[in-house]
Each structure stands twice: as C-alpha cells, then as structure tokens.
Structure 1
Amino acid sequence: MERILVTGANGQLGSELGVLSTSYPQYKWVFADRIMISLHNLNLLKIQLNDIKPTVVFNCGAYTAVDKAEVEKELAYTVNHSAVEVIAKYCFENKVKLIHISTDYVFDGSSSIALNEDALTNPINVYGKSKTTGELACLKENPDSIIIRTSWVYSKFGNNFVKTMQRLMQEKESINVVNDQIGSPTYAADLAKAMIDILNSQKWIPGIYNYSNEGEISWYEFALAIKEQGGYSCKVNGIPSASYPTPAKRPEFSLLDKKKIKTIYNIAVPDYKESLKKMFV
C-alpha cells in the first residue's frame, strides 16, 4: 500500500487533499502539520522523514506570505528552498515519488502569451525567488520529481482572495481591485484531484507541469465573478497596481499554459467560473 505524506496539511491544498483522501482508501494517508514535518528545521526534518517512511510525498507546505517574505527572507528560503532540497534528496535516495507544488511567481510578468513549462523564469520578489531556487534544488537532487506550478489558489479552507472578497462585499458599499495583473485562479480542490489523478495514472513522467483553471482574467474580473456568484450589491472598481502599492512586486501577466498536463496525464481543467460555483455550494 502506498503511504502518502502530505506536507502543509492545514493549508488550502493540504486541506482539500484531506477531504478527497476519504475517496481513496487504497492509500495510507499521512497529513503532516508544521510540527509533524518541520520545514523550518532541516535537521529535524530529516529525522521526521525517516520516521514516517512515505512512499509518496505531496509537498504542499510552503512559505507563502508574499509581502512578509520581503522582510523574512531567511525563513522564506529555508522553507521554500532548503527544505525542498532535503525532501527531494530523501525521495531520490529512498525511491519515493515526489510531487512538489510551485508557483506562477517564478515569472516576471513580461510575457503577453500563456507561459509554458519551458518559459524562462525571472522572479521579481523574494517569494518568487525562493520558490524558483526550490524548483532547481528539487530537480537537481531528484530528477524523478514532478513539479506543478499553480496560480491564484483559493479554497473553502484558509485565507484567500475569494474569502476576502466575500467578506468585504458584505461589509462595504464599494471596493477597489487591481485590474492590470492577468492570470487565472486555481480552485485547490481541482488541483488536489489532479495530483491524485497523476498518482493513479500508473505512469510517472518527471518534470515541470502547469495547472490552473481555464480563463484569462484580472483580479478585478475575478472579483466581478465573485460578486455575481454571491449576488452581492457592493460596487467593484478596477484600479491600476500603482494605486495599490505592496511591499512585494507582483507579475503583471502570469497566465499558465496547461497543454502539457492535459496531454500527458489527460487531466481535466475546469473553467474558473465552474470551479468558483463549487466554492459557494
């Protein structure tokens, strides 16, 4: 029986895998929080991996506070680079399958067409840089890894854009949302299913894959879709990023091309509006 270790078990993706896991009793699931798997303490991490002895690792744990990372650089790099290096090395040495989750923030946002897996990385903030070096370390230590880049993740669990919009649209008469950052959201439950589908496929083709929901939209357009779905009366105003400065720069365009994962693994990629509906059920 495969023994699947899920790091970041209390995060959005880890929580959605927890929900789905009950439908896959053929696997032994180990859901690890920050104490059970210490991504910030590398010596302890090595001991914990040896104790758990997984045959599959879904590495969903990460430092994801994009703005705080500008100040907490060391912690961001420890979790997003050094811990990934340790996990990848362990997986390679013990013939453990590894699916590692990465991000669209590895790109600088200068593209005008959907980015495929071979597009050049050039991160513009500390979070993106730490995730990029994590990818490189993962592939160096374990060339058999699968890395999935995703974007704009939301879920019924944790904190995310959709939940923030739901709250603000019920509290305020009007809100401002940036309209010049383009990409596509990812419903974490869809990504969780895609990860399990890859494992179930009985074929393992290492490398980088992209996964987000279908659609090419701005955060402003995403907010309008949330407003429509929730039936809120709040006015939504589109504003340029320059009017909403943040400590970390965001890529202006980070739409991911999903052809590879659809072709190789026959993964279904729902439209973002279809997935957003599930969030409101």
Structure 2
Amino acid sequence: MTATTAIVTGSRRAKRGRGGMIKKRPVDWLMLALVVFGAVIVLVPFYLIVVNAFKSPIDYATSGPFALPQALDFTGIQNFWERVNFPQKVWNSIFISGLVAVLAVLISMFNAFAIGIGRVRGRTWIVLLFLLANLLPQEALLYPLYYMFKEVGLYDNVWSVIIVFTVIQAAFGTYLLSSVYGTFPKEVLEAASIDGASRWQILWRVVFPISRPTLSVLLIFFFIWTWNEFLIPLTFLASNANQTVPVAISVLQGDRLMDVTTTAGSALLGIIPTIIFFLIFQRTLTRGITAGAVK
C-alpha cells in the first residue's frame, strides 16, 4: 500500500464513526432540526384538537387549552354528533369525494391518452388551456355556476358539487397525465398495434396497467382534496341534509351555544375519516410515488 492510498483510506475512516456510520455534518444536524421544528408546528394544532375534544367546558376553563384533561369527557363530541347528524354528513362527503375521484381519474386518463398518445393537433395549446383552468380561483366560478345550476334545477343537489369538482380535478389530472403519456415508449404501442390491438385495447391492456401507480396517486389526492373543499359545497348545498363534513363544522362554529370543547370534538370527528383513508391507502400512495420516481 502506497503512502497516498494510506492517507486517503485514513481520511475515509476518520469520517466514519463507530460501527461504520458516517458522521453527521453541521448541515445535516441543521436540516434535522428544521424537520423536527416543522413537525412540531404541524402536531401542535392536532394536539390541541385531541386534548380539548375530551375535556368538559369547566375543565377547559380551569386548566387551559394545553393541559391534559383531568377526566375523559365526551360531551363535546356527543353534542356535535347529535346536532349535525354526523353519519349523514360523513356519507355525503364519502359519496361526493369518492365519485369525484373515480370520474376525474377516468376523464383525465381518456383526455391524456388522446393528447399524449393520440397526438391530436394543437396538443400544446390544449394542455396550456387545462393549465389555465387550474389557475382560475373558485370565487370567480361561483357567480356563473350558481345561476347555471339554478336554471337546470341542480341547485342544492349533490350532483352540482360532483360536476364542478370532477371538471376541476380532471383539468389538473389531464395536465399531469398528458406529460406522462407523452413520454410513453413508442415501441410498446407499436408492438401492440402490430399484434392487432385497437386503440381501446391499447388503452386498457397496455397503458392502464403501466400507469396504474400514477392513477392511484391521483385517485387518493382527488379524494382528499374534494373532502376538504369548503367554499363550493357551502354555496351550492344549502339544505342540512346535503351538507358535507367541513360545511357542518363551519356552520356550527357560528352558533352562539358552541363552546371550545364542542368545536374541538367536531374538528376531531372531521379529520378521523381522512386519516383512516390515508392509512388504508398509504402503501398504494408510497408505491405510486416510488414508481413515478424510478423509471
């Protein structure tokens, strides 16, 4: 072993700690501290919701918002459950979000197949049009959509919200999938075409199985985004029977009889379904992101 090789080997060993672990640099510790700080900022509101949801109003007044409850009290959760008929609100949100997610993914896939693989004329301008549609604020759509749904008799109907969100989410999905399908291997498509496959067969037997991870990620995001939407459901779903969970929570927060514990209980019940949905499809989301990162 030469002297130069010994010096290089020694310097590499010096950078490693015990057990072959690479020593942390100051930049690594700084990044770790920033991640921990960001996690604390995210978890503090969730902690306040969980802690205050199981307090009585007297316990909250005496101990404050950050203290743990002296005894578990389900009065706030029970009050919210009974006032808004929470199971009905959950079903409305699941029905709207689930249907929007499925329809938006299907429409996005059909549009992207025609634009990215079908190579229609003016595809660049069409994709740009879908991008501009995503940039429009929802406030600009309320006035024309309100009168349109009034005229066709869909005001205060869940289908009005389903139609609006399906179009909005499909615009984003089309913009995203068009770029993905634009880089689809031409050899695979040509081989399927030589074997006698029609465009419909190419879509469902070749393109769909390969892009399934990306479509699964879009499905999960579309469901969560639609579940958390507030302004459009508040505008178009006037009756109590058609309202979603976010609308029910906001309406009760303006009630004079509403207390902090009931508000915390409503927020806790509102986020539990999305947490359950995320935990169920967490592996699907991880696989989809990994498949999109590794080509």
TM-score, with length taken from structure 1: 0.22
Identify the structure with the greater strand proportion. Answer: 1
Higher relative contact order (CA 8 A, sep 6+): 2
Larger Rg: 1 or 2? Answer: 2
TM-score, with length taken from structure 2: 0.21
Identify the structure with the greater helix proportion. Answer: 2
